[in-house]
């Protein structure tokens, strides 16, 4: 599949934004996050900014963005529609929760009653939105690399890791976060690493779901190959669904994703436990930046390595 920049940016940015909202809501509700306005203001601005920028990027990716309201009406059958509905619905409790935090109370003990309900709704809707995004891909049977149970898991744990790293970096810069947030970031990174390694091993060892022989109505044991291309120039299907990358490039990009997205951030977060002040803040910021570079490479590979069964009619022998 063609890895469009707008979709890569959307999934990475909104995942981190929703991860931040999820963590801040639950940690504040548990009284484990100091409600320092020097931390809260930039944290909410960045979280809402990432979510909004991601959604706008996704909207611009549509062929007719002016029709997005019609797409929202198909929530009964479409994960894309459910994602849009949940994303819009999240703004209400998250916005009220942020306003309550910033303008009404600065005392963690005051997070009760209505604020507690808003925190739970914010966390639940943020989680549901990321899950719906993942199901847009996991529900597509013609693409075997996406139609897998570990795809939603990967989206959820990467959002958790990205959100925790961003909250940790802001907290370290403002001196507002204890060791709990970097510990959550470490757990999120390790879980995401295990899920991605399992995903890459799974797609490499999977059985082929269809062959060119079966697609053309011949016996599955017969070898069918393309004698001539069906077009003098690549058409839309070939550009969008028959995108190819060289295997050697995929291996290099996987190593970059592992190093920048997981190994380096894990080392930097661990190192930040042994230092304090500006050094810890610098390590936390570098860890967050490095991880998101790696996450972007990982997401590019997620799209680029996916193969659609329609490629059987354009030269692929099996999918």
pLDDT digits (tens, 9 = 90+) for 86-141: 999 999 999 999 998 888 765 545 666 888 899 999 999 999 999 999 999 999 99
Total residues found in the chain within this entry: 319
**Confidence category of residue 266, pLDDT binned at 50, 70, 90:** very high
**Bridge partner residues of 211 (DSSP):** 318
Note the pLDDT of residue 310. Answer: 86
Mean pLDDT over all residues of the chain? Answer: 89
Q: How many CB atoms lie within 10 A of CB 9?
A: 19
Residue 300 in this model has a pLDDT that exceeds 80: yes
Is pTM beyond 0.85? Reply is: yes
CA distance 158 to 16: 8
182 burial type by CB count under 10 A (0-12 exposed, 13-18 middle, 19+ buried)? buried
In the predicted structure, residue 290 carries a pLDDT above the cut 60:
yes
Say what the pLDDT of residue 245 is.
67
Rounded Cα gap, residues 29 and 21, in angstroms: 12
d(C-alpha 6, C-alpha 57), whole Å = 5
């Amino acid at each position: 599949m063609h890895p469009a920049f707008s979709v890569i940016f959307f999934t990475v940015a909104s995942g981190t934004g929703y991860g931040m909202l999820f963590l801040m809501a639950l940690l504040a509700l548990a009284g484990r996050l100091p409600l320092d306005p020097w931390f809260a203001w930039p944290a909410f601005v960045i979280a809402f900014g990432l979510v909004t920028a991601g959604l706008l990027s996704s909207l611009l990716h549509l062929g007719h963005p002016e029709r997005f309201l019609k797409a929202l009406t198909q929530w009964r059958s479409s994960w894309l529609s459910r994602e849009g509905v949940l994303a819009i619905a999240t703004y209400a409790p998250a916005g009220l929760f942020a306003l309550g935090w910033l303008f009404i109370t600065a005392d963690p003990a005051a997070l009760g009653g209505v604020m507690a309900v808003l925190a739970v709704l914010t966390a639940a809707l943020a989680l549901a939105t990321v899950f719906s995004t993942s199901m847009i891909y996991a529900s597509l049977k013609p693409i075997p690399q996406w139609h897998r149970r570990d795809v939603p898991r990967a989206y959820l744990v990467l959002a958790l890791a990205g959100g925790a790293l961003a909250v940790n970096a802001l907290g370290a810069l403002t001196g507002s976060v204890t060791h709990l947030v970097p510990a959550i970031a470490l757990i999120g990174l390790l879980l995401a690493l295990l899920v991605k390694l399992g995903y890459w091993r799974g797609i490499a060892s999977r059985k082929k779901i269809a062959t060119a022989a079966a697609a053309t109505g011949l016996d599955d044991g017969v070898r069918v190959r393309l004698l001539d291309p069906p077009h003098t120039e690549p058409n839309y299907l070939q550009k969008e669904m028959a995108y190819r990358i060289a295997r050697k490039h995929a291996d290099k990009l996987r190593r970059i994703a592992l190093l920048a997205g997981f190994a380096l951030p894990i080392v930097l977060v661990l190192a930040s436990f042994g230092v304090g002040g500006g050094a810890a803040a610098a390590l936390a910021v570098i860890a967050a930046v490095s991880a998101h570079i790696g996450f972007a490479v990982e997401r590019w590979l997620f799209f680029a390595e996916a193969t659609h069964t329609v490629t059987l009619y354009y030269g692929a022998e099996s999918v």
